[in-house]
Amino acid sequence: MTTEFITMSDGKNVSVSFWDNTDAPRAAVVMVHGMCEYIARYDDFCRFLGNSGYNVIGMDNRGFGDTDANARGKGYAGMFEATVDDIKREVDIARARWNVKRVYVIGHSYGSILTQRFIERYHSEISGAILCGTTMQSGLLLAVGKRIAARKAKKNPDADGKFFAKMTFEAYDKKAKDGVNAWINRDKSEVQKYNADEKCAGVGICSVMFYKEMFGGLAAINKARGETPPDFKLMIASGTGDGVGGYGKLIEKLAKAYRKCGLHPEVKMYDGARHELLNEINKGEVYEDFVEFLDSCESRAGK
């Protein structure tokens, strides 16, 4: 893995990492991480992709990791859509760097929300996507969340989004009954590493402005879901023990929403798995399934 800062379309310098796994890759993958983490956490998975013939690019998203080392967890107006544009820049870089025809996007958690928006705006630029540890939020719950976040952000955009953390992550932990941040993983050693990492749990609670941006992104996704064409190759993966996916309920809601738009997403549910599928105790199975999906897309593209 090598890392460098790259200037994005709006002038923002973003920390971008490359896994130049093979000299002649079948295709490239853009890996998009979630909240309160950074791209190097996916080093093991990205190396696995390399062994399967895929080179990988991934950035520390705006507001996290080394991209915003002095403002982790903070948000600002336009950040969500700007991060979606950053993914497009990564696709362009990957295609030029490795001279590949096809690029795929894999997004985890918040990264999967960004990916949902990306495939609405830039679906023609890639050959498929995987939504990992994802969700769907809509209706009154999302509307109320947007309203509360907007009101709080107007008073102090950098204030901690304690209300939102309590309604989500703290509630997931209460259900898991297995310690702080146990909701992310059944592997206690991985949870301990997350809790000890200043770029993960050390970030603390994301700001109300970050939540305002994310909720705005979710609303935009719901309005434009039909922009993704019916023949787009899409996989949705989650665990039955993942609160972000509503323990399966929100995953079915999401899949149904895509089916209503004419898409045929491949849905994979992992029994008992919690949020971080790519770090879970059954991650080997997840790795294999994700590569199988990519290989299937490659096989169809080669016909």
Write down the pLDDT at residue 183: 97
Domain ranges for the chain: 2-137+221-301
Sheet with 27-32, strands from edge to edge, namely 2-7, 13-19, 54-59, 27-32, 103-108, 128-132, 234-239, 266-270
How many whole angstroms separate alpha carbon 138 and alpha carbon 292?
31
How many whole angstroms separate alpha carbon 110 and alpha carbon 118?
12
Closest of 33, 47, 42, 169 to residue 108, by C-alpha? 33
pLDDT means per 10 residues in the chain (303 residues)?
Answer: 97 98 94 98 98 97 97 97 98 97 98 98 98 96 95 96 93 94 96 96 94 97 96 98 98 98 98 98 98 95 67
Fold assignment, 2-137+221-301: Rossmann fold (3.40.50)
* Dihedral over Cα of 303, 257, 73, 200: its sign: negative
How many whole angstroms separate alpha carbon 106 and alpha carbon 31?
5
Write down the pLDDT at residue 63: 97
How many whole angstroms separate alpha carbon 65 and alpha carbon 72?
7
140 three-class SS: helix
Write down the pLDDT at residue 22: 87
The DSSP bridge partners found for residue 236 are 131, 267
Write down the pLDDT at residue 301: 83
